[in-house]
């Protein structure tokens, strides 16, 4: 039965070729005049994207300050530096240019600059509640995290090795500019990580205790599309059709639509967060490395859900439900391997094989020092988390 929900997706999506040239118009539309440009490495510079964005903003009469260096796993320390830059330059609009890392960093800076009396980490640790933020926008260059339309932002505290996510509607970008051609500079590995992240944002909502026919059908269609177009994109990252579908799917996968009416699980994301926090592994790779072990540990909580997944997403059939379920799980694992993702620790250069002590430490951290369980499809204790890591440690 569908549970009660509130759905809000206020981000204005500007989709299509050359849409980055409209940046100045949209910043002005949402009240910006002094803009902090937040980005990661040199790709936005080398591709000319940063220059085109600056030109659009300056033509619209906006002041610009650049703030590069966003990490693949965005850090609290870097975001704090961005807050200092934003306050010093009297910034009134924050623009993230890149993937989820740059956009999450921009969201954090927007919150921090509007709340200079509060340390950012207090918001991410739920010690303080966000009540205001500067307006922010996004120019997407990689279909993956869905941060361009989501209410979430993830930061890693390098000092403590902790990775935390913050969900608040103050994180919703005012607009998201999405030109599929901006993805053409991506390495194939990043494309594959993005495909995995899109799938997992949907799977972490799809596998929940509730049955909602409309929401489930949307999620299944999205998954089938991502699987098909992902295969094409890793072979040809310049395929406009494939990148268009993936870019739109990434936004839909994380704006809340694919989980309406049910409690999201997100255990796999919690498991992956500890891996990327400790080993700095790419987010998508961390998810692929543990998904199969998680699925094998939880499917018996609601076999009908995994059987439906096998039928409706992978087009599998069979009268023996357990055999069908295992085939659906294996099809997912095989797909991750096909696009170049690790499906266990041994297949990852960053992870390798871990000692039992290291696995226990990961479980301890993931359970927030035994203070929480994770998951809703099947609630997982610290001991359950340890056994999933142990199963993935091969």
The residue extents of the domains of the chain are: 12-183, 188-392
Residue whose entry in the numeric block shows the structure tokens 């997982």: 380
pLDDT at 248: 97
Structure tokens, 243: 């990148």
Q: What is the DSSP string of 240-290?
A: HHHHHHHHHHHHHHHSSGGGTTS----HHHHHHHHHHHHH---HHHHHHHH
Residue 67: Cβ-neighbour burial (10 angstroms; 0-12, 13-18, 19+)? buried
- For residue 227, the 8-state DSSP code is H
- For residue 56, the 8-state DSSP code is H
Grouped pLDDT means (10 residues each) for the chain, 394 residues: 85 98 98 98 90 97 97 94 98 97 97 97 97 98 95 94 94 98 94 97 95 95 98 96 97 93 94 94 96 98 98 97 98 98 95 95 96 97 98 96
Q: Residue 109 in 3-state DSSP? A: helix
CB 147 within 8 A of CB 105: no
CATH of domain 188-392: 1.20.1090.10
What are the residues whose beta carbons fall under 8 Å from the beta carbon of 63, sequence distance 6 or more? 33, 34, 35, 89
CATH of domain 12-183: 3.40.50.1970
pLDDT at 68: 96
Strand partners, 97: 139
CA angle 161–165–167, rounded 5-degree value = 165
SS3 content of the chain, % helix, strand, coil (to 5): 55, 10, 35
CB 216 within 8 A of CB 285: no
Tell me the residue length of the chain: 394
Residue 231: Cβ-neighbour burial (10 angstroms; 0-12, 13-18, 19+)? middle
d(CA 289, CA 333): 9
């Amino acid at each position: 039965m569908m549970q009660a929900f509130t759905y809000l997706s206020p981000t204005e999506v500007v989709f299509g070729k050359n849409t980055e040239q409209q940046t100045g118009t949209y910043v002005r539309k949402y009240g910006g005049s002094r803009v902090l440009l937040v980005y990661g490495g040199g790709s936005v510079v080398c591709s000319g994207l940063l220059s085109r964005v600056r030109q659009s903003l300056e033509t619209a009469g906006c002041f610009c300050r650049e703030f590069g260096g966003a990490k693949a796993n965005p850090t609290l320390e870097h975001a704090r530096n961005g807050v200092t830059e934003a306050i010093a330059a009297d910034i009134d609009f924050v623009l993230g240019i890149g993937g989820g890392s740059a956009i999450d960093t921009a969201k954090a800076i927007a919150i921090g600059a509007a709340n200079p009396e509060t340390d950012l980490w207090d918001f991410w640790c739920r010690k303080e509640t966000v009540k205001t933020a500067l307006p922010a926008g996004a120019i997407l260059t990689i279909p993956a995290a869905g941060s361009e339309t989501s209410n979430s932002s993830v930061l890693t505290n390098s000092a403590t090795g902790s990775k935390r996510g913050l969900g608040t509607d103050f994180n919703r970008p005012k607009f998201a500019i999405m030109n599929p051609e901006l993805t053409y500079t991506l390495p194939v590995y990043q494309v594959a990580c993005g495909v995995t992240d899109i799938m997992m944002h949907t799977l972490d909502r799809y596998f929940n205790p509730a049955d909602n026919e409309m929401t489930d059908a949307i999620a299944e269609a999205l998954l089938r599309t991502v699987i098909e177009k992902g295969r094409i994109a890793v072979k040809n990252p310049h395929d406009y059709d494939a990148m268009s579908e993936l870019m739109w799917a990434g936004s839909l996968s994380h704006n809340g639509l694919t989980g309406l009416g049910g409690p999201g699980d997100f255990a796999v994301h919690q498991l992956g967060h500890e891996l990327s926090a400790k080993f700095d592994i790419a987010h998508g790779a961390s998810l692929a490395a543990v998904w199969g072990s998680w699925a094998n540990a939880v499917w018996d909580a609601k076999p009908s859900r995994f059987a439906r997944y096998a039928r409706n997403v992978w087009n599998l059939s069979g009268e023996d439900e357990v055999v069908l379920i295992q085939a659906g799980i294996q099809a997912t694992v095989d797909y991750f391997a096909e696009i170049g993702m690790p499906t266990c620790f041994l297949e990852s250069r960053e992870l390798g094989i871990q000692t039992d002590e290291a696995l226990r430490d990961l479980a301890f951290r993931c359970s927030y020092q035994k203070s929480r369980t994770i998951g809703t499809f099947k609630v997982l204790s610290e001991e359950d988390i340890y056994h999933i890591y142990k199963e993935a440690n091969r």
